[in-house]
A and B are shown apart, each in its own frame.
Chain A
């Protein structure tokens, strides 16, 4: 039940039910989310400074988006000048074909990958397997998840749904000469040992990109483990994969984004490593990849870009703070969503990528409490976008920009709201209804079931407030 699907609406209810019923899972997520929220809070002690920084983050990303096609051309030009080969992919399949072709061209045999959500999004590992390649995930969390044939449940901490006992069991069973231990240092030591061998022997390294700087043709990658450095430095060929929205204008834009990203993600002031890659090794350099490729992926982004409001989706810097603060994500975990990007940003991105007919139901798993929008470092108005997508889901407007629009519309619900409007735009009718409801309050059936399963039935008051107001006014008339 933990695989990604391109039709997340299917069995969403079943996955929700399973997730809510899994006490161990809920404990894992509750602990992890509390930990990450506390760490983030500690990094932003000054509320005003944080708001100014978020303004800056939003402005930098919005300025980049306003110039997106121009910056992409500039990035391509600067990268080529630096010796980085640039490839453009319109769809996930195109991207996978390009990457497979690049690996074949260098006769790649051993492939390692640093953590990259873009490659998860395009399903690269599966595509490579289909082409006869094995690609080893090298981020510790991704490695654990891949070895267990699972998918990540969080975009920053992929194995957050697992506790150390289950990882200890997995390592002891699957890695030769590994005794069972719950000592985290030893477990990481085991991962280090296995992956070191893989790094030393790899001929192709694949990575994501956090920011691409158009000014200098630089690919910026942040990480703590060093697997990003390994993947982009040791193999002879480095293939970087990024969504087209990740470009920023200049180096000067980087500091504020770097102040926001690790703090929002894991509550760190800065990550251990910030890689800034501006080309393959030069003739006179001793190490580094001989070839660097950049694969730019559209995969639906240009369609999102075409809508003024939905464009804000593309500001995202993939920090995961929205999911860390989402009360629904905290209770379901990432797998229940069935999507590469779970939580609030996933509920906004996925329906736009897959269409509302396939992922529109995701938008319902939100109480519009606003916690995500409050913490987003680039001020994506996530609740507004979720509400907008709910609207597009039931919209009959043929001009709707979102694929699968209107496909969440159910006649029964549409009729309810039509009736609701009829009543609520006719105050006299409304008063009749409320009068009836208050008078017949003891006779009302305990509906809806979805409510009374968990709560005492709703019980109207004896008299409505409006009735009281009318009497009150009479009493007070001069």
Chain B
């Protein structure tokens, strides 16, 4: 017998030898609110040290351009998603690198990519969470490697809570990599002192668009 079969057989024997009634599920189940609470999205993200801007979708490029000037952000890294196209079309950024060749661009991404911009496919309002799916036009590492990450997310793409999000993915299937992001990277591993930018972005900037 293979290890797999021996393990499964031991489990089946064990179960048959001492059957047990599973712990009963509580009768009251959480009720999913029908509409996402935008305020809680904002406050949860802010509490997690993210910076949040709310505006009409058409307005974010101008706003981001002035923020970029103020912060002296010049070298942008993007994928081929909608936000990238809009940003490139806006034309205000001195340099926009499209990340599409892992082997050729990986070293540069790690060494000299100060800021990335990407679109989030959705969010979870009650925990202040961005939903980022891996897609051909949206590389996974863009939201991870550069120290500053700017995310565009639409209000109408938010789920009210995680159960609602799970219902969606159960129905529509999972992407190869689904990431929930609820703030910039952080750690409290040294004497319970919070520090941001442990391995991922130090700063997370969210444009929540109508």
List residues of A whose CB falls within 8 A of some B CB. 28, 31-32, 35-36, 52, 55-56, 58-63, 65-66, 68-69, 72-73, 76, 82, 88-90, 94, 138-141, 144, 157-159, 162-164, 167, 184-185, 187-189, 191-192, 195-196, 199-200, 215-216, 218, 224-227, 229-230, 233-234, 244, 250-252, 254-256, 258-259, 266, 269-282, 284-288, 296, 298, 302-303, 305-308, 311, 379
Contact = CB atoms under 8 A, between A and B. Distances in A.
B186 A306 contact: no
Nearest to B163: A255
A275 B177 contact: yes
A199 B106 CA distance: 11
Interface of B: 2-4, 6-8, 10-15, 17-20, 22-26, 28-30, 44, 48, 79, 99-102, 106-107, 110-111, 127-129, 134-136, 139-141, 144, 161-163, 166-167, 169-170, 173-193, 195, 197-201
B30 to A, nearest CB: 8
Given A35-B192, A278-B175, A270 B198 contact: no
B192 to A, nearest CB: 5
Contact of A276 (B7, B48, B174): B174
B11 A158 contact: no
Contact of B141 (A140, A233, A271): A233
Contacts of B110: 196, 199-200
Contacts of B23: 55, 58-59, 61-62, 379
A318 to B, nearest CB: 17
Given A200-B107, A225-B185, A66 B199 contact: no
Contacts of B20: 66, 308, 311
B176 A272 contact: no
B193 to A, nearest CB: 4
Contact of A252 (B170, B173, B193): B170
A307 B18 contact: yes
B198 A188 contact: yes
Nearest to B133: A276
Contact of B200 (A32, A139, A141, A229): A229
Nearest to B18: A308
Given A159-B189, A274-B179, A276-B179, A284 B136 contact: yes
Contacts of A61: 23
A169 B12 CA distance: 53
B124 to A, nearest CB: 8
A164 B189 contact: no
Given A196-B110, A225-B187, 13 more contacts: A66-B22, A159-B190, A162-B190, A163-B191, A200-B107, A224-B185, A226-B199, A229-B140, A233-B141, A244-B7, A272-B186, A279-B176, A287-B141
Interface centre among A244, A274, A275 (most CB of B within 10 A): A274
Nearest to A94: B3
A226 B127 CA distance: 18
B190 A188 contact: yes
Interface centre among B23, B111, B167, B180 (most CB of A within 10 A): B23
Given A225-B185, A233-B177, A59 B22 contact: yes
Interface centre among B140, B175, B189 (most CB of A within 10 A): B189
Contacts of B127: 269-270
A28 B197 CA distance: 24
B44 A302 contact: no
Contacts of A296: 7
Given A94-B3, A188-B195, A277-B177, A59 B24 contact: yes
A307 B181 CA distance: 40
A276 B129 CA distance: 14
9 contacts: A58-B23, A184-B195, A185-B195, A187-B190, A200-B107, A227-B198, A270-B128, A275-B177, A287-B140
A56 B135 contact: no
B193 A184 contact: yes
Nearest to A266: B188
Nearest to A98: B3
Contacts of A306: 10, 13-14, 17-18
Nearest to B4: A88
